[in-house]
């Protein structure tokens, strides 16, 4: 698919990726550099990759201001970006869920998804928009790059395009976009092809829009109106309303969609590196000398306050297995786990994944998108016990693409974990699929894609028409069996 109005006519989007050599546009230099505003929901899995994007843009000569939570100020400034803190309900602390999701334990399934969406995505809109408006009004802004869950960008997007900077959305979770081919976002429902699957999806989307998320849509309408904007479609289709939306993952890890929004492309995962190196733990050399396969177990950096969900059962499940269990707590204290750990387990708060994962036979995880992308970037198969937020969607894709096993529960039994680990280690199909995903990921250059899209949008803005129609995909589209393969190869 060729983009119009490129100054370099041979720069093409091929299967939703752009080769680095193409984006360079040999002989062409960009002499104008201005201010880029980057917006991120204050959660580590969102701030990390967007900070990495911002640091890249700084290296290309841009001035970058990042709007996110106050607790990320050091991380952002250490990467060379300027930091503007969110305020009020928008400046929540993911490490203390009781402060922004106090009733989390009351919900399950899609009702849990609705509650989390409202508390982290909808309620902060007005405060997010106020901070963003202040930044944009104080100085000329060349473009805005927004986390795909930072809904405070929606009031600005509803304005006339000529009166605002261009906006590029960046997806740091499974693609959230209504489709006749895919079940509702965060439902965790497995992919089902054919007319029966599309019928199921159509009915599920209607139930979500008109029943389960009806109040959520009304709340979003009110918050956006308070911020001086208007809601033009279903709020969970935020990705389709950006001028461009770049999914920071491979198309190979996304379901085939015939109605993928034309503003959407796949850029591949961004590696979010820590500002300071992670020193190896005292047992690292001993682990390297141990010939037993390494099983890495993690509950990520957010849902790590209750290790009875996954880490504890995994330690029990693998205590007698001929493996090394390597646990990271995501910053949580290790002393309680150390007391119950079997002799074949090693525990640390953090480890350098670039050192650990090439030595890892299997990852057991609660399904954070960033962690799963990192594992697949190294060709490591997975066993996923999905927690909340977007994790059921991640786990569903792990199972669908045969890069691991989806346990479909956040609290698996030790026996279920043992059986899943044994199954993955015994079946070369999982390793082969994970290796194929690794090879696919290696073909993407996300920074090159972002550079090209940014250059294109800035040159096109504001006189050219928007690059996509601001409409919601038709989930009642006629049934045909020819999925949209140009943007989303299968």
Q: What is the pLDDT of residues 395-432, one digit of tens each?
A: 999 999 999 999 999 999 999 999 999 999 999 999 99
Query: Is the residue at 1 inside a domain?
Result: no
**In terms of domains, do 311 and 215 share one?**
no
**In terms of domains, do 436 and 451 share one?**
no
What residues have CB less than 8 Å from 481, skipping those under 6 apart? 194
pLDDT of 331 reads 87
In whole angstroms, give the CA distance from residue 463 to residue 221: 29
User: Which residues in 107-148 belong to E strands, given as ranges?
Assistant: 143-147
Query: Is the residue at 6 inside a domain?
Result: no
What residues have CB less than 8 Å from 368, skipping those under 6 apart? 45, 300, 301, 302, 391, 394
DSSP string, 263-304: TEEE--PPP---SS--PPPTTHHHHHH--SPEEEEE-TTTS-
Count structural domains, the chain.
2
**In terms of domains, do 340 and 196 share one?**
no
**Which single residue is written with the structure tokens 């461009």?**
244
Q: What DSSP state is assigned to residue 348?
A: E
Residue 146: strand pairing partners? 39, 169
Boundaries of domain holding 226? 20-269+444-460
Query: Is the residue at 353 inside a domain?
Result: yes
Q: Quick check: 487 pLDDT over 60? A: no
Residue 64: strand pairing partners? 36
In whole angstroms, give the CA distance from residue 305 to residue 302: 8
Regarding predicted confidence, which is higher, 98 or 40?
40
Residue 171 · residue 60 · CB < 8 Å = no
Residue 363 · residue 296 · CB < 8 Å = yes
pLDDT in tens, 325-360: 999 999 889 998 999 999 999 999 999 999 999 999
**In terms of domains, do 436 and 384 share one?**
yes
Query: What is the pLDDT confidence band of residue 106, given thresholds at 50, 70 and 90?
Result: confident
Query: What is the pLDDT confidence band of residue 28, given thresholds at 50, 70 and 90?
Result: very low
**In terms of domains, do 435 and 350 share one?**
yes
User: Which residues in 126-235 belong to E strands, given as ranges?
Assistant: 143-147, 167-171
pLDDT in tens, 247-263: 999 999 999 999 999 99
**In terms of domains, do 391 and 448 share one?**
no
Which CATH number belongs to the domain containing residue 334 in this structure?
A: 3.40.50.2000
**In terms of domains, do 238 and 342 share one?**
no
**In terms of domains, do 341 and 450 share one?**
no
Q: Starting at the edge strand that comes first in sequence, how are the strands of the sheet with 264-266 ordered?
A: 82-85, 63-68, 35-39, 143-147, 167-171, 244-247, 264-266
pLDDT in tens, 190-222: 999 999 999 999 999 999 999 989 999 999 999
Determine what percent of the chain is predicted with pLDDT higher than 70.
Answer: 87
pLDDT in tens, 45-81: 999 999 999 999 999 999 999 999 999 999 999 999 9
**In terms of domains, do 88 and 125 share one?**
yes
Longest dimension (CA), the chain: 67
**In terms of domains, do 407 and 358 share one?**
yes
Q: Quick check: 2 pLDDT over 50? A: no
Query: Is the residue at 476 inside a domain?
Result: no
Query: Is the residue at 321 inside a domain?
Result: yes
Q: What mean pLDDT, rounded, does the chain reach?
A: 87
**In terms of domains, do 304 and 263 share one?**
no
Q: Quick check: 482 pLDDT over 50? A: no
Query: Is the residue at 470 inside a domain?
Result: no
Q: How far apart are the first and last CA of the chain?
A: 16
Residues in the chain: 490
**In terms of domains, do 54 and 151 share one?**
yes
Residue 86 · residue 76 · CB < 8 Å = no
Residue 88 · residue 284 · CB < 8 Å = no
Query: Is the residue at 3 inside a domain?
Result: no
pLDDT in tens, 123-173: 999 999 999 999 999 999 999 999 999 999 999 999 999 999 999 999 999
Query: Is the residue at 467 inside a domain?
Result: no
């Amino acid at each position: 698919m060729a983009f119009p109005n490129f100054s370099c006519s041979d720069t093409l989007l091929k299967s939703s990726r752009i080769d680095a050599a193409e984006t360079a546009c040999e002989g062409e230099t960009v002499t104008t550099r201005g201010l880029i505003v980057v917006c991120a929901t204050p959660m580590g899995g969102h701030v990390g990759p967007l900070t990495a994007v911002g640091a890249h843009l700084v290296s290309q000569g841009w001035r970058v201001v990042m709007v996110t939570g106050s607790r990320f100020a050091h991380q952002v400034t250490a990467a060379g970006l300027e930091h503007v803190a969110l305020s009020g309900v928008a400046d929540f602390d993911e490490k203390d869920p009781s402060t922004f999701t106090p009733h989390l334990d009351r919900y399950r399934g899609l009702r849990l998804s609705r509650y989390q969406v409202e508390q982290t995505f909808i309620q902060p809109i007005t405060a997010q928009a106020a901070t963003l408006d202040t930044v944009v009004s104080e100085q000329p802004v060349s473009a805005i790059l927004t986390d795909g869950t930072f809904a405070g960008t929606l009031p600005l997007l509803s304005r006339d395009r000529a009166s605002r900077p261009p906006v590029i959305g960046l997806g740091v979770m499974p693609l959230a976009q209504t489709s006749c081919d895919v079940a509702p976002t965060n439902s965790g429902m497995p992919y089902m092809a054919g007319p029966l699957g599309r019928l199921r999806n159509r009915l599920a989307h209607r139930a979500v829009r008109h029943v389960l998320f009806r109040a959520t849509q009304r709340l979003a309408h009110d918050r956006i109106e308070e911020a001086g904007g208007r809601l033009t479609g279903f709020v969970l289709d935020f990705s389709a309303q950006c001028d461009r939306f770049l999914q920071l993952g491979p198309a190979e890890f996304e379901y085939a969609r015939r109605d993928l929004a034309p503003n959407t492309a796949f850029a591949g995962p961004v590696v979010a590196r820590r500002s300071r190196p992670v020193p190896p733990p005292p047992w690292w050399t001993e682990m390297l000398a141990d010939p037993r396969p390494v099983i890495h177990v993690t509950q990520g950096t957010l849902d790590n306050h209750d290790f009875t969900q996954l880490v504890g059962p995994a330690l029990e499940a693998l205590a007698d297995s001929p493996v090394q269990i390597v646990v990271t707590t995501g910053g949580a204290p290790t002393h309680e786990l150390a007391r119950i750990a079997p002799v074949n387990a090693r525990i640390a708060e953090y480890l350098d994944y670039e050192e650990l994962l090439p030595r890892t036979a299997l990852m057991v995880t609660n399904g954070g998108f960033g962690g799963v992308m990192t594992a697949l970037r190294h060709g490591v198969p997975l066993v996923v016990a999905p927690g909340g937020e977007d994790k059921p969607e991640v786990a569903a894709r792990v199972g669908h693409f045969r890069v691991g096993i989806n346990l479909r529960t956040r609290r698996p039994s030790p026996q279920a974990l043992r059986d899943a680990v044994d199954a993955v280690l015994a079946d070369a199909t999982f390793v082969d699929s994970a290796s194929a995903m690794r090879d696919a990921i290696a073909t993407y250059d996300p920074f090159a894609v972002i550079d090209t899209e940014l250059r294109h949008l800035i040159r096109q803005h504001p006189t050219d028409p928007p690059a996509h129609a601001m409409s919601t995909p038709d989930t009642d589209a006629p049934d045909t069996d020819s999925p949209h393969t140009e943007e989303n190869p299968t």
